[in-house]
């Protein structure tokens, strides 16, 4: 029995991979296992290679992904060709016998770069001709991979006969073959599996029934033939109930709890799923009763989205938008207006691979400096970045609180990795959740109101319609919000805005903004932010087992950076033992730390391939720096 | 009656047509007895967009071209507010044209005033989107090579349900149209011909003096859609009328369709929790003790399809 199992399932985009994840993740979670699943895909709707990488952990926690995988389920030949070296000694490979004769050269959807790289590797390994069969033989022979060759056609024939389906209809059950095999190999409890199926197909009883039947037959056969070789130890659940959801989903849920009343967006990957989900819940209905309503607007562009969000925020509604790099680029001018006018507005920013449209469906952490410096002039803003799903949930709520309390825009940074990863998230702790509306006034004295009193950085904020009359302008303003270019007024108003930042820095607890994980007397310190937290936390455990006592410093608030605390931690480490770990080229967070604390980083582990930082490569990277004295390790694992 | 004037000095050039628009707004607001606290004037950037500072109601002076977009959020989050947008023709039909079109598509209950001076005033007289091809106003070194957009035709094509033209120096006429526009339920736009005395030496008060005539003086002109079946015909007639630009230039109401539902109504129809009486902006989001109204039980119910109970083994 195993503590963890790592599964890889691949196929053409649109061929049912998502289903595999949607069925398996709740199924394992219902048994108390921790699940983390990442989805990798091209910017394409149907046809390009896509895959899901899942780790199921008996620890009960959603734990980081690593390679090699224990199981590769291939829906098509391209998956076998592509992922042949992603599985380890003795792993299982399931493939369609019908693809055995396919040649690498025939895979039109494969990018030429990968194809030629694979040819080179196959040649070196003595795999010729480049057929699925030869690759499979090689794996069996050289890596003792256990091969489950199934004739998909024969399986579909049975389906066709039994349920009177057409061939095209039967082929839609392709993902069931993979689900069945995984269920068999891991001896997945059938009731749990059924729960997963109910969730996915509950609304379509006929489809549910066929799936159930088909999956059970594949599972039984695989279990009988190969044994439950990937069976997991019983789980140690970390929660009596899990929320099984993607990063997009948990942020939408956090917004609902946080009281979102207005969200505007323009479609962009990987952000729009969040708004689409919110739209589904716009009525906030429970048993027919409504708790309120969320106005959600799909706008003509991102400029309109953010501008309308600012307008909504002025009326007192908790208002936000969700976007990615290209969209945020368009929002920048309005961001400055919000910063200038003390507007509590939230931008949820899912970073993806740039520059330009770069890698539209892949992840990165390369927009931190952009979000910190975006827009002209100088004005305060809060930048919050979540490290995992649970943090993302709490941060979605806290973003509104901080925005209203400190009267400035909040940028909530996430990345595509988190956005698209599905995790079993422990049920949140409601005791930790508070709504803080700061000095927002819904009823105010009538007549012209000094919205911007010179001696009060955080002033009362009567909303539009509260009774007060207020003015706002993008120009420098007087206490009422009217244009005022007087140099002394300018001096005072400019400073007034920045004083809010000082107050925020003083009042937001440091232990919320930065967190240290590991032994106090660790000798190596990893410094990271965002979803780097996921691999980093387990990396320090593994490193300790290998004799390297490492700790992790997680930066959750990048503006205002808790510089006193960060400096204090950094000062305890030899500079050669401090490693910035980031999914970008420049080490952007390290630059901010240097700017704020003066600490000069010397060691970097960086990745910018658009794929997540995997646990195994992070551990290797740290060892390379610690043992071999390397200054910079560039990670590149993943297809 | 509330005073709709502020103490702020209007820094427009002496003689600027914007003064007439401001006066018409102040008079219309007074005659409609608008509650200053429940009224919001939103603008973009330009000479014309300084208007909110001179009116004693809430004023939101935003960024170039985005007044409508800001107004959209204000109105949707709190549909109880009266929202009026001011902008130049450069602001609304150049940089902001996507929002101008989008507002029509939505028919949100917002009124838009275009200060149409056919130039970019505040940046010193460059050609705006309503200046016709071949025209060379004072500060252009060479004649304009781009065709003009017709605001009336564009508004009708975009879906506005109240479309009018007025002249900024005919303050009372503009005031009456503005009152009708504000009372109209749906997106309303008034293209206000506004002489820029500093940069536009073609479209001067002199130019307009003998050319303008009022549509309402033509007894056969009826811009109102009284039955959905008339809509197409009335739109076509209005667009045709809007093309009239020469020795005679019509001002007045071109097209009104009171039958089309507004965006707020469409939203309420799809989502009955959305109502004008209980606007999103004013709904409670927390309980007395600061805990969110969506507590763990509400959360479990709303998001039940994401929640997995761990089986007791
Ligand atoms: C994004 C952006 N681009 C350019 C400008 C410069 N700008 C200020 S006012 C203006 C033109 C205003 O012309 P119009 O909208 O016709 O209004 P008017 O001044 O004529 O009333 C421009 C282009 C700006 N403020 N913002
Ligand atoms: S430049 Fe033209 S539009 Fe601007 S204030 Fe002067 S006259 Fe009016």
pLDDT, tens digit, 9 for 90 and up, residues B227-277: 999 999 999 999 999 999 999 999 999 999 999 999 999 999 999 999 999
What is the helix (H) or strand (E) element at residue A279, kind and residue range? helix A272-280
Question: In the predicted model, what is the mean pLDDT of residues B159-168?
Answer: 98
Q: Which helix or strand (DSSP H or E) is residue A169 part of?
A: helix A167-171
Cα–Cα distance measured from residue A215 to residue A28, given in angstroms and rounded to the nearest whole number: 16
- Nearest residue, CB atoms, B70 vs list A295, A311, A483: A311
Nearest CA-CA partner of A307 in B125, B281, B62, B141: B62
Is the pLDDT reported for residue B138 higher than 90?
yes
A385 to chain B, any CB pair closer than 8 A? The answer is no
Does residue A398 have a cis bond before it (omega within 30 degrees)?
Answer: no
Reference B181, options B76, B34, B280; nearest CA is B34
Atom of ligand 2 nearest to the CA of B124: 1
| Beta strand segments in A283-435, E | 285-286, 289-290, 295-298, 318-323, 346-353, 359-363, 382-385, 410-415, 422-426
Q: Is any Cβ of chain A less than 8 angstroms from the Cβ of B97?
A: no
Question: CA–CA separation, B57 vs A113, rounded Å?
Answer: 63
Give the distance (Å) from ligand 2 centre to CA of residue B198. Answer: 6
CA–CA distance, A318 with A316 (Å, rounded to integer): 6
User: Which is the closest atom of ligand 2 to the Cα of B12?
Assistant: 5
ipTM of the complex: 0.98
Helix/strand/coil (H/E/C) assignment for every residue in A59-123: CCCCCCCCCCEEEEEECCHHHHHHHCCCEEEEEEEEEEHHHCCCEHHHCCCCCHHHHHHHHHHHH
CB of B96 closer than 8 Å to CB of B71? no
- Tell me, in angstroms, the distance from the centre of ligand 2 to residue B17's CA: 8
Mean pLDDT rounded to a whole number for chain B: 97
Task: List CB contacts of A285: < 8 A, sequence separation 6 or more.
Answer: A291, B273, B302
| Contact at CB, B308 and A30, closer than 8 angstroms | yes
Q: Is B141 exposed, middle or buried (0-12, 13-18, 19+ CB in 10 A)?
A: exposed
What percent of chain B has pLDDT above 70?
Answer: 99
- A94, A11 Cβ separation under 8 angstroms: no
For the entire predicted model, the pTM comes to 0.98
From chain A residues 422-451, the ones with a CB under 8 A of any chain B CB are 424, 427-428, 430, 433-437, 442, 446, 448
Question: What whole-number distance in Å separates Cα of residue A93 and Cα of residue A178?
Answer: 11
Please indicate whether, in this complex, the C-beta atoms of B309 and A311 are within 8 angstroms of each other.
Answer: no
Q: What is the DSSP letter of B254?
A: E
Is the CB of residue B305 less than 8 Å away from at least one CB of chain A?
A: yes
b/e sequence B39-67, b meaning 16+ C-beta within 10 Å? bbbbbbbbbbbbbbbbbbbbbbbbbbbbb
Rounded distance from Cα B96 to ligand 1 centre (Å): 10
Cα separations (Å) of A2 from A61, A187, A230, A233, A478?
15, 12, 7, 6, 67
B72 — contact with chain A (CB < 8 Å)? yes
CA distance A637 to chain B (A): 31
Enter the tokens of residue A88: 């380890």
- Nearest ligand 1 atom to the CA of B92 is 15
CA torsion, ordered B262, B80, B70, B293, to nearest 10 deg: -110
B63 reaches A (C-beta below 8 A): yes
Asked if the model's pLDDT at residue B174 lies above 80, the reply is yes
What integer pLDDT is reported at residue B2 of this predicted model? 60
Q: Residues of A comprising the binding site for substrate?
A: 269, 352
- What token pair was written down for A163? 């349920």
In chain A the domains, ranked by start, together with CATH numbers, are: 4-226 (3.40.920.10), 245-432 (3.40.50.970), 440-507 (no CATH), 513-634 (3.40.50.920)
Tokens 């903004």: give the residue.
Answer: A513
Residue A570: strand, helix, or coil: helix
Average pLDDT per consecutive 10 residues, chain A (639 residues; last block may be shorter): 97 92 97 97 95 98 98 98 97 98 97 97 97 98 98 96 94 95 97 96 94 96 96 95 98 98 98 98 94 98 98 99 98 98 98 97 98 98 98 98 98 97 98 98 97 98 98 98 98 98 98 98 98 98 98 98 98 98 98 98 98 98 98 98
Identify the nearest ligand to the CA of B11 by its number. Answer: 2
pLDDT at B1 over 60: no
């Amino acid at each position: 029995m195993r503590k963890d199992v790592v599964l890889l399932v691949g196929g053409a985009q649109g061929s049912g991979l998502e289903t595999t994840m949607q069925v398996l993740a709740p199924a394992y979670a219902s048994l108390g296992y921790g699940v983390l699943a990442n989805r990798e895909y091209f910017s394409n709707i149907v046809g390009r290679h896509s895959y899901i990488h899942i780790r199921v952990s008996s620890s009960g926690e959603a734990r980081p992904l690593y390679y090699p995988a224990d199981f590769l389920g291939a829906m098509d030949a391209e998956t076998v060709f592509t992922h042949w070296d992603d599985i380890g000694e003795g792993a299982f490979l399931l493939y369609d016998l019908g693809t055995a004769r396919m040649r690498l050269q025939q895979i039109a959807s494969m990018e030429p770069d990968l194809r030629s790289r694979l040819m080179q590797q196959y040649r070196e390994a003595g795999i010729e001709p480049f057929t699925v069969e030869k690759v499979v033989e090689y794996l069996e022979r050289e890596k003792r991979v256990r091969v489950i060759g199934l004739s998909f056609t024969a399986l579909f024939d049975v389906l066709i006969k039994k349920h009177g389906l057409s061939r095209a209809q039967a082929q839609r059950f392709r993902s069931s073959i993979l689900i069945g095999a995984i269920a068999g190999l891991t001896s997945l409890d059938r009731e749990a599996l059924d729960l997963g199926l109910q969730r996915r197909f509950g609304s379509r009883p006929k489809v549910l029934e066929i799936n159930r039947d088909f999956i059970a037959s594949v599972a039984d056969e695989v279990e009988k033939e190969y044994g439950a070789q990937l069976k997991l130890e019983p789980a140690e659940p970390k929660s009596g109930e899990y929320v099984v959801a993607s990063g997009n989903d948990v942020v939408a849920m956090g917004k609902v709890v946080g009281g979102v009343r207005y969200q505007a967006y323009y479609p962009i990957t990987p952000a729009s799923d969040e708004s689409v989900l919110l739209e589904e819940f716009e009525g906030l209905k429970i048993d027919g009763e409504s708790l309120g309503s969320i106005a959600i607007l799909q706008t003509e562009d991102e400029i309109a989205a953010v501008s309308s969000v600012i307008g909504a925020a002025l009326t007192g509604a908790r208002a936000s938008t969700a976007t990615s790099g290209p969209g945020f680029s368009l929002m920048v001018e309005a961001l400055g207006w919000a910063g200038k006018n003390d507007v509590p507005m939230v931008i949820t920013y899912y970073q993806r691979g740039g520059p330009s449209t770069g890698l539209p469906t892949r992840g990165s952490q390369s927009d931190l400096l952009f979000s910190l410096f975006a827009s002209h002039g100088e004005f305060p803003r809060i930048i919050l970045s979540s490290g995992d799903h649970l943090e993302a949930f709490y941060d979605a709520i806290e973003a509104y609180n901080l925005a209203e309390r400190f009267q400035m825009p909040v940028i909530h940074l996430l990345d595509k990795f988190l956005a698209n990863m599905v995790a079993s998230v422990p049920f949140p702790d409601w005791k930790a959740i508070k709504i803080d509306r700061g000095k927002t006034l819904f009823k105010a004295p009538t007549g012209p109101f000094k919205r911007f009193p010179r001696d009060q950085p955080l002033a009362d904020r009567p909303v539009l319609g509260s009774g007060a009359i207020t003015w706002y302008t993008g120009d420098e303003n007087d206490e009422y919000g009217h244009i005022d270019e007087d140099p002394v007024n300018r001096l005072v108003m400019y400073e007034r805005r920045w004083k809010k930042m000082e107050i925020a820095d003083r009042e937001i607890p440091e232990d919320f903004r930065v967190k240290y994980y590991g032994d106090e007397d660790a000798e190596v310190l990893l410094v990271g932010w965002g979803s780097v937290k996921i691999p980093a936390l387990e990396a320090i455990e593994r490193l300790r087992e290998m004799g390297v006592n490492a700790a992790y410093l997680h930066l959750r608030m990048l503006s205002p950076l808790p510089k006193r605390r960060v400096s204090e931690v950094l000062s305890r480490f030899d500079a050669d033992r401090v490693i910035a770990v980031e999914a970008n080229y420049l080490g952007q967070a390290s630059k901010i730390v240097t700017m704020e604390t003066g600490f000069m980083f010397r060691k970097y582990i960086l990745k910018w391939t658009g794929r997540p930082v995997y646990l195994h490569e992070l551990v290797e990277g740290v060892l390379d720096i610690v043992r071999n004295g390397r200054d910079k390790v560039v990670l590149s694992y993943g297809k | 009656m509330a005073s709709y004037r502020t103490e702020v000095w209007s820094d427009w050039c002496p003689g600027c047509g914007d003064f007439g628009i401001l006066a018409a707004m102040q008079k219309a607001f007074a005659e409609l007895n608008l509650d200053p606290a429940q009224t919001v004037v939103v603008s973009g950037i330009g000479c014309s967009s300084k208007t909110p500072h001179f009116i004693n109601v809430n004023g939101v002076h935003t960024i170039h071209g985005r007044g409508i977009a800001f107004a959209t959020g204000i109105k949707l989050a709190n549909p109880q507010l009266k929202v009026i947008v001011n902008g130049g023709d450069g602001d609304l039909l150049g940089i902001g044209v996507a929002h101008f079109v989008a507002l029509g598509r939505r028919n949100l209950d917002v009124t838009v005033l275009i200060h149409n001076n056919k130039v970019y005033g505040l940046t010193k007289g460059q050609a705006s989107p309503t200046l016709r091809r071949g025209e060379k106003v004072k500060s252009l070194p060479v004649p304009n090579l781009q065709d003009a957009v017709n605001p009336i035709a564009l508004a009708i094509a975009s879906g506005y349900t109240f479309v009018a033209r007025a002249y900024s120096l005919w303050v009372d006429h503009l005031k009456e149209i503005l009152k009708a526009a504000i009372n109209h339920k749906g997106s309303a736009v008034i293209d206000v011909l506004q002489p820029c005395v500093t940069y536009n030496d073609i479209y001067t008060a002199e130019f307009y003096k003998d050319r303008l005539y009022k549509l309402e003086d033509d007894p056969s002109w009826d811009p109102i859609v009284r039955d959905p079946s008339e809509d197409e015909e009335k739109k076509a007639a209005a667009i045709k009328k809007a093309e009239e630009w020469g020795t005679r230039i019509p001002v007045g109401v071109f097209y009104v369709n009171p039958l089309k539902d507004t965006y707020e109504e469409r939203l309420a129809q799809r989502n009955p929790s959305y109502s004008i009486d209980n606007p999103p902006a004013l709904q409670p989001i927390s309980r007395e003790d600061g805990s969110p109204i969506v507590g763990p039980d509400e959360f479990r119910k709303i998001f039940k399809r994401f929640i997995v109970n761990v089986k007791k083994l």
